Structure 1
Amino acid sequence: MGQKLKSTLLNMVLSLTLVCAITSGLLAATYMFTSGPIAEAEALALKEAVKEVSPAFDNDPIADSFKFQTEDGYELLIYPAQKEGKNIGAAVESSSKNGFSGLIRVIVGFDSEGKILNYSVLQHNETPGLGSKMEEWFRTDKNNQNIIGRSLANGNLNVTKDGGDVDAITASTITSRAFLESINRAYSAYIGIDATTSASEQNGEKGDTNE
């Protein structure tokens, strides 16, 4: 009886080991065959998003992209838009961790004057039919919802409940705050680039004079 039990346990262990090995192999094979197409799809989606929110450009913003760290510790990706070698704006990938369900990622386009051209929501887990409305809400030309064409030169965008002039999504104030936070952060990075570039140019000019 004891020997039969040992034999049964051994067979079970061997069977489980074989099943685990087969499962691991299948998962590895699935990942190998799907990781490439997934990466290609994500790259294409990013390319389309950059094109959708940026001013018309003749460079490759993705190839020319770089990172910029904001004062509050966020590292944002910048996709510069150029026309005949001249900077005409940029797309900025930004985010906020303060959504109702956590992370919200957006990409925002600015023109050379810093006005918002367009935006696209890249990632969120907000409530369908409520927070998820941010994908269109803030470009809908109704009351004070629309942020397209706005300049943040005179201050950040805030919902009316917080003293601002942007209408929050109905029953989704937390989502609206987080969305606008990501937009404000994108703008701070955009003007930060301008400030850095101007300082570099001034230092370069001074260096030439000293020489």
Structure 2
Amino acid sequence: MAKTESTLVNMVLALLIITAVAGGSLGMVYKVTKEPIAAAKLAKQKKAIEQVVPGFDNNPTDEAYELTSKEGFALKVFPCKKGEELLGVAISTKTEKGFSGEIKVMVGMKPDGTIINYSVLEHKETPGLGSKMQAWFRMDKGNQSVLGKNPKTTKMVVSKDGGQVDAITAATISSRAFLDAIMVAYNTYMDNTDAHSSATTKSKGGQS
């Protein structure tokens, strides 16, 4: 009986030691990788902002602020200026309506809401289908492109649902989700009176 109890104690001690070592190792790995991962995310964010609203000479990150969408999403807005003129805003938006879940997009818009460009930041859509949204909606073919269009005058819904944008072939759900993310950004920004008024004022001030 004493031998059995001794073996049980040894097993418990061994498991505790293994757990402690594994936990310590994971903690160490987290500390080592935390800063590089954060730096990579910031670099990706900066690149996306430069892509969707080119030509600014300020630091949009320093002037960034948050708006909450009616869906409850916290959207980050990056004002992009040249001198005192507001060229537009880069908005980190998202939707949870993707075929495989959440889709995050950085969309660049002029102060009046016209879409300048976009960059898909994260998604889990099907390779070769939904994943085509990175390029599909900027291609000048049929009614695919959303660039240069304003949701105020263009119905940002897939053609199949009565809208004015052609969906990705065989990926209607992903297309609906992408456009939903764009509209979340547009509606949230334009519905925020303070942000919209401020943007318009700054833009006019830069042109005077």
Q: Please, what TM-score do these two structures have when normalized by structure 1?
A: 0.88
1:166 is paired with a residue of what secondary structure? coil
TM-superposed deviation, 1:196? 2.1
Asked if structure 1 preserves the Cα contact closer than 8 Å seen for 2:66 and 2:76, the reply is: yes
Structure 2: how far apart are the matches of 1:90 and 1:58?
A: 13
Q: Which moved more, 1:51-60 or 1:71-80?
A: 71-80
Structure 2: how far apart are the matches of 1:128 and 1:98?
A: 17
Structure number with the bigger relative contact order (C-alpha 8 A, sep ≥ 6) is 2
Structure 2: how far apart are the matches of 1:129 and 1:118?
A: 22
1:196 matched to which residue of 2? 194
1:141 matched to which residue of 2? 140
Q: Which amino acid aligns with 1:6?
A: E
> What are the Cα deviations for residues 159-187 of structure 1, in whole angstroms up to 9, with x where unaligned?
00110121111111111101001111111
1:12 matched to which residue of 2? 11
Matches within 5 A, 1:58-69: 58-69=57-68
Paired residues in the alignment total 199
Structure 1: how far apart are the matches of 2:29 and 2:92?
A: 30
2:177 matched to which residue of 1? 178
Structure 2: how far apart are the matches of 1:200 and 1:112?
A: 9
Asked if structure 1 preserves the Cα contact closer than 8 Å seen for 2:189 and 2:195, the reply is: no
2:163 matched to which residue of 1? 164
1:22 matched to which residue of 2? 21
Asked if structure 2 preserves the Cα contact closer than 8 Å seen for 1:156 and 1:184, the reply is: no
1:39 matched to which residue of 2? 38
Q: Which amino acid aligns with 2:38?
A: A
Structure 2: how far apart are the matches of 1:52 and 1:70?
A: 23
Q: Which amino acid aligns with 2:9?
A: L
Q: Which amino acid aligns with 2:137?
A: F
Asked if structure 1 preserves the Cα contact closer than 8 Å seen for 2:120 and 2:134, the reply is: yes
Asked if structure 2 preserves the Cα contact closer than 8 Å seen for 1:55 and 1:111, the reply is: no
Q: Which amino acid aligns with 1:90?
A: V
1:121 is paired with a residue of what secondary structure? strand
2:72 is paired with a residue of what secondary structure? coil
Distance 1:55 1:115, change over 3 A: farther
Q: Which amino acid aligns with 1:75?
A: A
TM-superposed deviation, 1:197? 4.7
1:120 is paired with a residue of what secondary structure? strand
User: Please, which runs of 5 or more residues in structure 1 have no aligned partner?
Assistant: 202-211
1:153 is paired with a residue of what secondary structure? coil
Structure 2: how far apart are the matches of 1:155 and 1:146?
A: 11
